[in-house]
Amino acid sequence: MNPKDFGKVAVLMGGRSAERDISLMSGGGVLKALQSRGVDAHAFDPAERELVELKREGFQRCFIALHGRFGEDGTVQGALELLGIPYTGSGVMASAISIDKVMTKRVWLAEGVPTPRYTLLRRGAYQREQVIAIPDDLGLPLIVKPAREGSSIGVAKVQGYSEMQGAVDAAAALDADVLCEQFIAGDEVTCPILGTGDGARALPVIRIVAPEGNYDYQNKYFTDDTQYLVPCGLPQGEEEAIQELVVKAYRVLGCRGWGRIDVMIDAATRKPYLLEINTSPGMTGHSLVPMSARAAGISYEDLCLRLLADAALDLEPGAAKA
């Protein structure tokens, strides 16, 4: 598309989630890229302005660079559906399911997509004895995390029984649902997907080598110690198998536009286990979708334009009329 054909574009960034700072970094990069290609793009922070202003000010498309709640969870998507303004990324239902790691697991398991075993705890409804017993089922180490946070916020790797209660309480402070998950020892990889339905395609797989295997918030965004390997260097055939698997996982959730799925590969069996999906991935200088796209010959600016061109509504205007 001619950049002028996009009309007035809002880059939604910031927001009210725990990932606000990362969203501002992502949105700033996207805004600069779109403007450099001649798009009439403007920053718009839903934490500071009412979304109805999008309609009043004549915005014709939205690039969602929000991360986490109130941006990646179907709420903003629903508001934009009501306003009739096409937006990037997945629609209401797919966004709402995908941000919830437990609901995502339930869908994937129903469709035969491998994901680590887990136990769900609800804030205020678990007893100390129940928490302490979880390693008996899932083994040690194990992972504890809030069900609906991203960027590794609130994630803890529990090495012993004595660490369980503190990790669960910390996660419960961020979310009413706490996910206790089997730890898969092996290669950590991630794979972006672009497109919709039968047109969805996986980009190159990235292998992540973090200091001491700890790919946490700090090592994701604020250090240069983490290695991102593209090409990923996996054994012959493994990258293709993972790409095929993540596209299936993306489709069964009903995602569209783009996404990124995190995967652990069991070191002993080489079986991949899908951890979670991001439906509004990061677009910062450390972010992985731009890195993978670049390996496929797609520049950051072209990636932003492609995503904006795919902006859509779940229900196109007029579709519900008799």
20, 61, 256, 260: which one is catalytic? 260
26, 98, 278, 280: which one is catalytic? 278
Specify whether 260 is catalytic. yes
Q: What is the dihedral of CA 162, 164, 167, 171, to 10 degrees?
A: -160
Specify whether 214 is catalytic. no
Specify whether 262 is catalytic. yes
The single-letter code of the amino acid at 57 is E
What radius of gyration, in Å, describes the C-alpha atoms of the chain?
A: 20
Give the residue among 58, 62, 66, 57 at the shortest CA–CA distance from 81.
62
Distance separating alpha carbons of residues 294 and 219, to the nearest angstrom: 21
Specify whether 282 is catalytic. yes
In DSSP notation, 118-178 reads EEEEETTS--HHHHHHHHHHH-SSEEEEETT--TTTT-EEE-SGGGHHHHHHHHHTT-SEE
282, 301, 310, 314: which one is catalytic? 282
Specify whether 50 is catalytic. no
Specify whether 301 is catalytic. no
Distance separating alpha carbons of residues 8 and 60, to the nearest angstrom: 5
45, 149, 181, 262: which one is catalytic? 262
276, 301, 310, 314: which one is catalytic? 276
Specify whether 61 is catalytic. no
151, 219, 280, 287: which one is catalytic? 151
14, 19, 72, 74: which one is catalytic? 19
Instruction: Please identify every residue annotated as catalytic.
Output: 19, 151, 221, 260, 262, 276, 278, 282
